[in-house]
């Protein structure tokens, strides 16, 4: 079973940033309003995600770290509202690292901790924690040389973690996010009143004045957000934030449609800055093609592409570009 978990880990956990994504999604699913992330060594030596969500009862801690155990499929596969549902993340991470899971539910008299050390499980035993859940991951891949060698520098891994936090922070503006550690300068996104405030926190105050507002609809597919002016472009595509039904995605077709929308107004070697939200009937899109990848499968990709390119071109034309 340990080997199966390690193989599953290859699917779910590519690098420290993918661990952070899984842990943040769990915290969001738990209804957290504050999430703190701590990292060291680009997440290779330490990753810790603390939340103030619903917590895990003592009796469910062992299940939480067991493969294919999820508390999130009550409504069946058709009705997935939560971010995670495969029940693979915690056992996978715990098969290639030292994982500690501490949690306390609202009415509980104590918090409990369970450890998963390269597949070996210990606990639960009582521990101190006032509320919510703390997941700590140490020495990720340190005993798995085949995976360790694919990791980049501490600095590059730390940047990838920040990127994951920024994307999920844009998806969840009302949650407070804080990320700290010896490998970075601290970042805090205070709980925002609305999306506009969160966008300003994540992309900087100057972005709003250097962007056009997008609000378009085609066949019940809605596109909203902000598209940076061509003069506000960048040398890389790190500042492109795309969401489908509220979930951050990094889909080739969408990225290429974004480029297409700018084709007439921006130099080819530049990258637009944009925050765009697509909203459509969940039956017309599959956002769960792969557990870790942010790929999307649209029933009608041509419609989506046309909507994106058309909305951007029209917005630029209207502002005289
Ligand atoms: P999944 O999210 O796909 O259900 P995970 O392995 O990520 O699987 O988590 C297993 C289970 O552990 C979840 O279904 C949930 O019940 C519980 N869990 C994990 N993290 C948290 C958290 N931060 N707060 C509350 N419950 C959690
Ligand atoms: Mg999960």
pLDDT in tens, 166-219: 999 999 999 999 999 999 999 999 999 999 999 999 999 999 999 999 999 999
Q: Please tell me whether residue 128 adopts helix, strand or coil conformation.
A: coil
Question: Rounded to whole angstroms, how far apart are CA atoms 147 and 268?
Answer: 35
299's tokens: 């029933």
* CA 109 to mean position of chain CA atoms: 32
CB atoms under 10 Å from CB of 61, counted, come to 20
CA–centroid distance, 147 to ligand 1, in Å, is: 24
Question: Rounded to whole angstroms, how far apart are CA atoms 172 and 164?
Answer: 12
**0.90 surpassed by pTM:** yes
Angle at 82 between CA 76 and CA 86, to 5 degrees: 65
101's tokens: 């899971």
Any ligand 1 atom below 6 A from CB of 177: no
Domain architecture of the chain: domains with CATH = 2-189 (3.30.565.10), 204-318 (3.30.230.10)
**Which band of pLDDT confidence, cut at 50, 70 and 90, is reported for residue 5?**
confident
CA–centroid distance, 26 to ligand 1, in Å, is: 5
pLDDT in tens, 155-173: 999 999 999 999 999 999 9
Instruction: Out of 19, 29, 33, give the residue to mutate to test ligand 1, the one with the largest number of ligand atoms within 8 Å of its CB.
Output: 29
pLDDT in tens, 66-95: 876 677 665 555 555 555 556 789 999 999
Give the torsion sign (CA, 228, 232, 233, 235): negative
Residue with the smallest CA separation from ligand 1 atom 10 is 64
Residue with the smallest CA separation from ligand 1 atom 7 is 89
Give the torsion sign (CA, 220, 226, 231, 232): negative
10 or 135, which is more confident? 135
Question: Rounded to whole angstroms, how far apart are CA atoms 233 and 166?
Answer: 19
Q: At what angle do helices 195-203 and 154-171 cross, to 10 degrees?
A: 160
pLDDT averaged over every residue in the chain: 91
Instruction: Out of 9, 13, 48, 64, give the residue to mutate to test ligand 1, the one with the largest number of ligand atoms within 8 Å of its CB.
Output: 64
Angle at 48 between CA 188 and CA 21, to 5 degrees: 75
306's tokens: 């046309």
Question: Rounded to whole angstroms, how far apart are CA atoms 271 and 287?
Answer: 25
- Ordered DSSP codes for 192-258: PSSHHHHHHHHH-THHHHTEEEEEEEETTEEEEEEEE-GGG-BSSSTTEEEEETTEEE--HHHHHHH
Question: What local confidence, expressed as pLDDT, does residue 3 receive?
Answer: 73
């Amino acid at each position: 079973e340990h080997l199966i978990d390690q193989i599953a880990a290859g699917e779910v956990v590519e690098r420290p940033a993918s661990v952070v994504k899984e842990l943040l999604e769990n915290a969001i699913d738990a209804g957290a309003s504050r999430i703190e992330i701590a990292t060291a060594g680009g997440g290779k030596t330490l990753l810790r995600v603390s939340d103030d969500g619903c917590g895990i009862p003592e009796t469910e801690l062992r299940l939480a770290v067991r493969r294919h155990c999820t508390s999130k499929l009550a409504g069946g596969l058709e009705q997935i509202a939560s971010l995670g549902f495969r029940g693979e993340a915690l056992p996978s991470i715990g098969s290639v690292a030292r994982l500690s899971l501490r949690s306390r539910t609202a009415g509980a008299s104590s918090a409990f901790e369970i450890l998963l050390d390269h597949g070996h499980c210990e606990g639960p035993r009582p521990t101190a924690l006032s509320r919510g859940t703390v997941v700590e991951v140490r020495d990720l891949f340190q005993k798995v040389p085949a995976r360790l060698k694919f990791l980049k520098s501490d600095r590059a891994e730390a940047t990838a973690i920040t990127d994951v936090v920024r994307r999920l922070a844009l998806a969840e503006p009302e949650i407070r996010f804080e990320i700290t550690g010896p490998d970075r300068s601290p970042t805090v996104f205070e709980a925002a009143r609305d999306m506009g405030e969160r966008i300003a926190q994540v992309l900087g105050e100057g972005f709003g004045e250097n962007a056009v507002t997008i609000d378009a609809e085609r066949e019940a597919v809605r596109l909203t957000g902000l598209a940076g002016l061509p003069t506000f472009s960048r040398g890389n595509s790190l500042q492109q934030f795309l969401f489908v039904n509220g979930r951050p995605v990094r889909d080739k077709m969408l990225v290429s449609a974004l480029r297409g929308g700018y084709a007439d107004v921006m130099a080819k070697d530049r990258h637009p800055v944009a925050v765009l939200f697509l909203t459509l009937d969940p039956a017309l899109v599959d956002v769960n093609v792969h557990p870790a990848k942010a790929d999307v499968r649209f029933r009608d990709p041509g419609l989506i592409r046309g909507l994106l390119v058309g909305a951007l071109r029209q917005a630029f034309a209207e502002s005289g570009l």
